[in-house]
Structure 1
């Protein structure tokens, strides 16, 4: 047989073999599709990881009050004045200072504690400068990536600063959204603020939004979480009128509880439609940043339980709403604001005696879960005000490291003032809200008791 014939024969055999292989593969595919073969199944392996190992919590204290215009040659710069005294409840593993942009006063303090430590800190300062006098008090807060502040103004005689603290080892970029009595400010009027690692920045809101009667600020940070607070100073002509600091609130809610409200005055009440008028009335402000809220009911919680209606907040889009309470009930110790959509808010109350005046901007207090021990740092001269807006009475225990526990019953729908040591522990049979208040003649300051941030203690990992 010739070579050409051999090649034709071999090629034909190869082609036939290929056809047979393809046919066999097709038959096998049809068989596998029609016949269910046994499968090997294995549940994923789950490994529980304890995230509490090496976990920590951080509290940042803002340091001494930053006074805008303390140096006449640098009227737009806020300079630290005086000394802030810090108290703590619980043990911290580490303490260090943040670097300030401007020297002076006492530096911001940072506390690091184990995640499972019951810990809190707070600061108090008696401000006394050439221009301002009064009392400030502030809760030392955990850093957040988003938070809100309500209070202050930038109208004639009022200065408001924003204090930003970054306790981490990377810088933070902070975006501010400012709201006033007309709504949200044009974004072109605000810009990002760079807060260096382990540093603090103080921003003048008078420069961002001059001539505003009402203020609310949303603070959003990237790169690192930060703490935020407001410093408010007011003069009347050449005399000091008031000074205060404002603690942040974490998120908007339908119901805000603001314990600790008191309005002190030596002035006699004058006649009015409601029978009496306060010389310096309580002021309630709130913001619906989404513009969804239309109204909010405002009522005062009484010491004996029950409440008294104070009025209604009317919202107009994203404008800061205001309600003036012409006469504050003397037997009341808290305010509840109930809206038809999530809001943030604040309450202004005053102290006036002996020709001197001061005020405090109260921030809403977060809920303190029941059957849990909460750390409460009580500054010198402070009292603990506990609000129970629920329908069941609260059995509350307050103790300290070196003091015997004291038990109280806060009536349903009521609020109560109790004594507490500097390093207090608080627990309750039902959820409550609490504020530390310092009130004496012409001095007034307050800060909410902040619940520890919720942390996931176990993480489930599914390895490949």
Structure 2
């Protein structure tokens, strides 16, 4: 074949190729605008019960830790005495957490299969050289994020934070502190390491000294933890009051705080003292942790009506406060309704000629209607039922064990105090909030009924 023939043949093939490519490109353009038959296939899915073979765990705070109980180590939080734990339900296994300072009454860990009614609380009377009063708290489920509000770090007051890790791996805990002026500069501390199966206690006075109000956000990675505050106040060198604070899981626009009371039995009121004021006032504190400002309306609930207490102006990141000049005598709960998500707490007091004590009452979560909830009532405690809803709630209280059930009517916008067995199940016809109040002599304490954490229980898995 001559060179000319090869060139002509190559040229012809190239031309044919160009034509084919052009036709194909045209077809793509044309067909791109024409809807083609589509084959849709939904991926096969399987629903998995994530609650199966899972375990719920509750951690109690353990013996109250007092900063400076050992004069040789004033920076150490030393556990004193031992609490009494009340359990509603039956734990399938129990354990305790180790503490660096040892002592009696270590933090208890209770476990049971998920879905099994189980709740616990503890109460402890403390009468030491540097601390006096009664503290009570709910035993709680470990979380990766939680909030606590109460106390301060002024001279004469110590506020400690106890972190419990019942898991099998270490927890790294980050603390973010807030006060009356906003987020504490430098208050986002270096990580606190909580080894598995242990409890660590740190003093917030060291992170944010001389603060008149204090709140802390607790965020853990590696393992969820429980958190509680311990507050001790002294006047001069004499112990004055103490309490523990139960956590809140997340900010919300409505907080319901059952159990609040203010009791004054002292006879030292002078003839010129105003009858409509109290020497130790109920104090309501609210933190809007976001950047936005807002307002919060505060009301009290008694056994038949709602009483307006006032309004709090909210500045994002700052702890705001309302002091109630005279607490309504029959009131048993506080409701905080804000236009931004908030966390909060309410302090009540008992004052007698012989002694004084205070309690920081924490918000209680809503207990869903027609859902049995385990309720632990410590010895000497009274159950407080709060109904901020629009309809009446009928609450049935069933003893776990011997005894007869009873029904209690809780009117709309009311909070009532009822006797309840140490271990009971509560079922309400409408959503309610519940707490337990301990008030005997010169001692005051309280804690919320936490109920079970909301868990979906069903996970949809898509297979290939």
TM-score interval (norm. to shorter): over 0.9
Q: Check the 8 A contact 1:293/1:342 in 2, yes or no.
A: no
Q: Which residue in the other structure is 1:296 paired with?
A: 296
Shift in alpha-carbon separation, 1:103–1:40, aligned structure 2, 3 A: same
Q: CA deviation at 1:29?
A: 4.1
Q: Which residue in the other structure is 2:59 paired with?
A: 60
**Deviation string for 1:431-459 (max 9, x for gaps)?**
11111111101111100000211111212
Shift in alpha-carbon separation, 1:264–1:36, aligned structure 2, 3 A: closer
In the alignment, the residues of structure 2 paired with residue 419 and residue 261 of structure 1 have an alpha-carbon distance, to the nearest angstrom, of 16
What is the aligned-residue RMSD (CA, Å)?
A: 2.3
Shift in alpha-carbon separation, 1:36–1:313, aligned structure 2, 3 A: closer
In the alignment, the residues of structure 2 paired with residue 221 and residue 420 of structure 1 have an alpha-carbon distance, to the nearest angstrom, of 36
Equivalent residue runs for 1:100-111 within 5 Å: 100-111=99-110
In the alignment, the residues of structure 2 paired with residue 81 and residue 244 of structure 1 have an alpha-carbon distance, to the nearest angstrom, of 14
In the alignment, the residues of structure 1 paired with residue 230 and residue 18 of structure 2 have an alpha-carbon distance, to the nearest angstrom, of 87
**Deviation string for 1:97-149 (max 9, x for gaps)?**
11212211211111222221121111111112222221111101111222111
In the alignment, the residues of structure 1 paired with residue 392 and residue 253 of structure 2 have an alpha-carbon distance, to the nearest angstrom, of 22
Shift in alpha-carbon separation, 1:240–1:11, aligned structure 2, 3 A: same
Question: What's the secondary structure of 2:206's corresponding residue?
Answer: helix
Q: CA deviation at 1:280?
A: 2.1
Shift in alpha-carbon separation, 1:338–1:17, aligned structure 2, 3 A: closer
In the alignment, the residues of structure 1 paired with residue 225 and residue 377 of structure 2 have an alpha-carbon distance, to the nearest angstrom, of 23
Q: Check the 8 A contact 2:174/2:188 in 1, yes or no.
A: no
Say yes or no: does 1:138 pair with 2:137. yes
In the alignment, the residues of structure 1 paired with residue 242 and residue 169 of structure 2 have an alpha-carbon distance, to the nearest angstrom, of 32
In the alignment, the residues of structure 1 paired with residue 349 and residue 460 of structure 2 have an alpha-carbon distance, to the nearest angstrom, of 51
Q: Which residue in the other structure is 2:251 paired with?
A: 252
Q: Which residue in the other structure is 2:212 paired with?
A: 213
Shift in alpha-carbon separation, 1:155–1:15, aligned structure 2, 3 A: closer
In the alignment, the residues of structure 1 paired with residue 313 and residue 439 of structure 2 have an alpha-carbon distance, to the nearest angstrom, of 30
In the alignment, the residues of structure 2 paired with residue 291 and residue 41 of structure 1 have an alpha-carbon distance, to the nearest angstrom, of 46
Q: CA deviation at 1:36?
A: 5.2
Which is worse superposed, 317-326 or 202-211?
Answer: 317-326
Question: What's the secondary structure of 1:444's corresponding residue?
Answer: strand
Q: Check the 8 A contact 2:292/2:315 in 1, yes or no.
A: no
In the alignment, the residues of structure 1 paired with residue 7 and residue 295 of structure 2 have an alpha-carbon distance, to the nearest angstrom, of 94
Shift in alpha-carbon separation, 1:203–1:41, aligned structure 2, 3 A: same
Aligned residues: 462
Shift in alpha-carbon separation, 1:36–1:415, aligned structure 2, 3 A: closer
Q: Which residue in the other structure is 2:441 paired with?
A: 441
**Deviation string for 1:295-332 (max 9, x for gaps)?**
322221111x2122223323344332222222211111
**Deviation string for 1:169-202 (max 9, x for gaps)?**
2212211121222222102673321111222110
Q: Which residue in the other structure is 1:223 paired with?
A: 222
Equivalent residue runs for 1:189-208 within 5 Å: 190-208=189-207
In the alignment, the residues of structure 1 paired with residue 392 and residue 274 of structure 2 have an alpha-carbon distance, to the nearest angstrom, of 31
In the alignment, the residues of structure 1 paired with residue 28 and residue 272 of structure 2 have an alpha-carbon distance, to the nearest angstrom, of 93
In the alignment, the residues of structure 1 paired with residue 376 and residue 224 of structure 2 have an alpha-carbon distance, to the nearest angstrom, of 23
Equivalent residue runs for 1:394-405 within 5 Å: 394-402=393-401, 403-405=403-405
Question: What's the secondary structure of 1:329's corresponding residue?
Answer: coil
Q: Given the two structures, how large is their TM-score scaled by the length of structure 2?
A: 0.92
| Runs of at least 5 residues in structure 1 that lack an aligned partner in the other structure | none
Q: Check the 8 A contact 1:270/1:278 in 2, yes or no.
A: no
**Deviation string for 1:25-48 (max 9, x for gaps)?**
457646755765544332332222
Q: CA deviation at 1:291?
A: 4.7
In the alignment, the residues of structure 2 paired with residue 92 and residue 329 of structure 1 have an alpha-carbon distance, to the nearest angstrom, of 40
Equivalent residue runs for 1:207-356 within 5 Å: 207-268=206-267, 275-303=275-303, 305-356=304-355
Q: Check the 8 A contact 2:283/2:321 in 1, yes or no.
A: yes
Say yes or no: does 1:98 pair with 2:76. no
Q: CA deviation at 1:216?
A: 1.2
**Deviation string for 1:379-426 (max 9, x for gaps)?**
111110001111211101111112221100011111100111111111
In the alignment, the residues of structure 1 paired with residue 288 and residue 18 of structure 2 have an alpha-carbon distance, to the nearest angstrom, of 75
Shift in alpha-carbon separation, 1:28–1:53, aligned structure 2, 3 A: same
Which is worse superposed, 254-263 or 442-451?
Answer: 254-263
Shift in alpha-carbon separation, 1:271–1:374, aligned structure 2, 3 A: farther
In the alignment, the residues of structure 2 paired with residue 78 and residue 165 of structure 1 have an alpha-carbon distance, to the nearest angstrom, of 15
Shift in alpha-carbon separation, 1:20–1:369, aligned structure 2, 3 A: same
Equivalent residue runs for 1:26-105 within 5 Å: 26=25, 29=28, 32-33=31-32, 37-105=36-104
In the alignment, the residues of structure 1 paired with residue 432 and residue 309 of structure 2 have an alpha-carbon distance, to the nearest angstrom, of 21
Q: Check the 8 A contact 2:119/2:451 in 1, yes or no.
A: no
Question: What's the secondary structure of 2:72's corresponding residue?
Answer: helix
Question: What's the secondary structure of 1:206's corresponding residue?
Answer: helix
In the alignment, the residues of structure 2 paired with residue 56 and residue 275 of structure 1 have an alpha-carbon distance, to the nearest angstrom, of 54
Q: Given the two structures, how large is their TM-score scaled by the length of structure 1?
A: 0.92
Q: Check the 8 A contact 1:259/1:334 in 2, yes or no.
A: yes
Q: Which residue in the other structure is 2:423 paired with?
A: 423
